[in-house]
Structure 1
Amino acid sequence: MRRRIVKPNTRSFTGRHVLPDGSGDIRFESGLERDFLTLLSLRDDVREIVEQPLTIDITWPDGQARRYTPDFKVTYADRVVLYEVKYREQLRKLWPTHRHKFLQARAWANSQGMRFRIVTDLTIRTVRFENARLLSPYLGIEPDAGMAQAITDGLAHGPRTVLDLVQALCPERWDRARFYAALWPMLANRSLQMDPRAPLGMDLLVGLPS
């Protein structure tokens, strides 16, 4: 099995996504692939992401041998998944002729102790993605120590909403910029916990890591 190298081209949107831990970057070939990588950036169970990691031998319905390369291999704490990333409309058009390819890829992945998933804009561009998009710029940023400690102390007795914390810690409106400048990095770097499926906002419930 060979790994196909992704090269920039004029027909697709290409770029590089920097890994949150600073260990390198991953090339993407579309805006949707970029968004998928952003979605993964705030997951604490992701151990490794590899772009176009391997090639699988498949058999076309006419008996011809072909090869198929998934878009990504993601190693989680408890599983390894091969991903195909497609826009929903694109997948709908391709499905009649590519269905057998994806089914063979799933069978091959299962035989190797892995999983195979097709993800689309419907499953990628969710509230969880929007949270990751908004918080990813704060990855690796150190919050103001004084405000971070105040937020931590404010959560000592249990989770609270952002609104509750603002009202308790920022009696003066000018303090709020300093508050958010500490809150977002703490959420991005998992110094605080939140439900990743809940929209960022004043009703967001945050707490200390368990």
Structure 2
Amino acid sequence: MPRTIPLSKGNHITGFHPIRPGHGMVAFESKLECDFLSWITKFGGNPTVTSQPLTTKYLDHNNIWRKYTPDFLITYPTLIPVQLQKWNFSTNTIIEIKYSAEAEKKSATIQRKLNAVRKIGYRTVLLTEIDITGEPYE
């Protein structure tokens, strides 16, 4: 069962996004995640998209164990679309979505989290709004 994240006091866009007929809706927790779901469908290949697919632990910069739940797991049944190979996608890829300013500011923490996922056997990809839309969000 996917985890539930309580919303902070602020504006949030949450909901469910269609991937393709027969796939089912995929939950998202931000406009950027919704934009990612639209973006990933452009490449074809019939991926299965799972929101918040797993939770793992990582050591933070103070050597304290923390929990981490990545945004999405993208699973391709056979071939990965050529356009996605430049981002290092594989048949099972964990995706972390961050705004570019946050990705830069929290780079070390994000890498610790993604390293924890790699240790359990997944390829990881960090995407920002620049990757998805071609420009930073204002």
Which TM-score band applies after superposition, normalised by the shorter structure? 0.7 to 0.9
- C-alpha spacing 1:9/1:28, structure 2 compared with 1 (3 Å): farther
Is the CA contact 1:55–1:68 (under 8 Å) kept in the aligned structure 2?
A: yes
Asked whether the equivalents of residues 8 and 14 of structure 1 are also in contact (C-alpha less than 8 Å), the reply is: no
TM-score normalised per structure 2: 0.74
Q: Secondary structure at the match of 1:43?
A: coil
Deviates more, 1:54-63 or 1:7-16: 7-16
- Matched residues, number: 121
Q: Distance in 2 between matches of 1:58 and 1:109?
A: 9
- The answer on 1:60 being equivalent to 2:60 is yes
Q: Report the Cα offset of residue 91 of structure 1.
A: 1.9
After superposition, the CA RMSD in angstroms is 2.2
Instruction: Tell me how far apart the structure 2 counterparts of residues 83 and 120 of structure 1 sit (CA, whole Å).
Output: 10
CA distance in 1, matches of 2:41, 2:6: 23
In structure 2, how many angstroms separate the alpha carbons of the residues matched to 1:17 and 1:6?
Answer: 18
Residue 83 of structure 1: aligned partner: 95
1:88 is displaced (CA, Å) by: 0.7
1:20, distance to aligned residue in structure 2 (A): 1.1
Give the structure, 1 or 2, with the largest relative contact order (CA under 8 Å, sep 6 or more). 2
1:89 Cα offset (Å): 1.6
Normalized per residue, the structure richer in helix is 1
When residues 84 and 94 of structure 1 are mapped into structure 2, their CA distance, relative to the original with a 3 A threshold, is same
| Alignment partner, residue 17 of structure 2 | 17
**In the superposition, relative to structure 1, how do residues 10 and 26 fare at CA in structure 2: closer, same or farther (>3 Å)?**
farther
Equivalence for 2:130: 122
After superposition, residues 38-117 of structure 1 pair within 5 angstroms as 38-76=38-76, 77-78=78-79, 79-95=91-107, 99=108, 101-117=109-125
Q: After TM superposition, give the deviation of residue 108 of structure 1 in Å.
A: 3.2
TM-score w.r.t. the length of structure 1 is 0.51
- Quick one: distance in 1 between partners of 2:8 and 2:110? 25
* Structure 2: runs of 5 or more not aligned: 80-90
Q: Which residue of 1 aligns with 2:31?
A: 31
Q: Is contact 2:23–2:48 with CA below 8 Å preserved after alignment? A: no
Any idea what SS the aligned residue of 1:92 has? Answer: helix
Q: Secondary structure at the match of 2:67?
A: strand
What is the letter of the counterpart of residue 28 of structure 1? F
C-alpha contact (below 8 Å) 2:60/2:112 kept by paired residues:
no
Paired with 1:113 and 1:64, the residues of 2 have a C-alpha distance of 22
Larger Rg: 1
- Following superposition of structure 1 onto structure 2, how do residues 167-182 of structure 1 map, counting pairs within 5 Å? none
Q: What 5-or-longer segments of structure 1 have no aligned partner? A: 127-210
1:169-193 CA distances to partner (integer Å, 9 max, x unpaired)? xxxxxxxxxxxxxxxxxxxxxxxxx
8 Å contact kept, 1:105–1:116 = no
Shift of 1:14: 0.9
